[in-house]
Amino acid sequence: KFAGTSVWLEEYGVHLMVSRVVFSYTGIRWDPQISLLYAQVYDKNWTELHDVDLIIPIKNPTNLQREYKRYTFPRFMPIPFYYNSNLMTKRWYGPEDARLFLMKNEYNETEPALIFNAYHRKPVKNSISNDDKSASINFQMYRSMFIGFLFQFQLGKRNTDGTTDERFDHIQYNRVAELRIKSRERKEIEKNWTPIVDLKDSENINLIYEAEHLTILKCPLKTVYKGEITCDISFNQSRLFGRMGEVRGGTELIPILNENDPNKQTWIGFLRAHINDCGCGASMYRPNFIVLTRILDSYKITHLSSSISFDIPVTGSKNSSIVCDETGPNVLIPNGISMWEVEPKTGVDYLTLSLSVADESNSVLHITGISSLLDDIQKRQDDIGYWYDEAAIKDMFECVLQTSKDFCKLYGEEQIKLGKSDQVNAS
pLDDT of residue 130: 66
Q: Which amino acid is at 283?
A: S
pLDDT of residue 381: 62
Whose CA is closest to 287, among 333, 352, 244, 337?
333
pLDDT of residue 227: 92
**Phi, psi at 423, each rounded to 5°:** -65, -35
Cα-based distances in Å from 316 to 28, 104, 285, 360, 420: 14, 40, 12, 10, 9
**Phi, psi at 317, each rounded to 5°:** -75, -25
- Residue numbers in the chain where pLDDT is lower than 50: 425-427
Instruction: Give the predicted TM-score (pTM) of the model.
Output: 0.91
User: How far is Cα of residue 363 from the mean position of the Cα atoms in its chain?
Assistant: 16
Alpha-carbon gap, residue 260 to 411, rounded angstroms: 42
Task: Go through the chain and tell me how many residues it has.
Answer: 427
pLDDT in tens, 257-296: 776 777 889 999 999 999 999 999 899 999 999 999 998 8
pLDDT of residue 378: 74
Whose CA is closest to 253, among 196, 212, 336?
196
Strand residue runs (E) in 156-282:
172-181, 194-196, 204-210, 215-220, 224-225, 228-236, 247-248, 254-256, 264-276
pLDDT of residue 239: 61
Rounded to 10 degrees, the C-alpha dihedral 37/193/335/270 comes to -170
Alpha-carbon gap, residue 79 to 337, rounded angstroms: 22
pLDDT of residue 345: 86
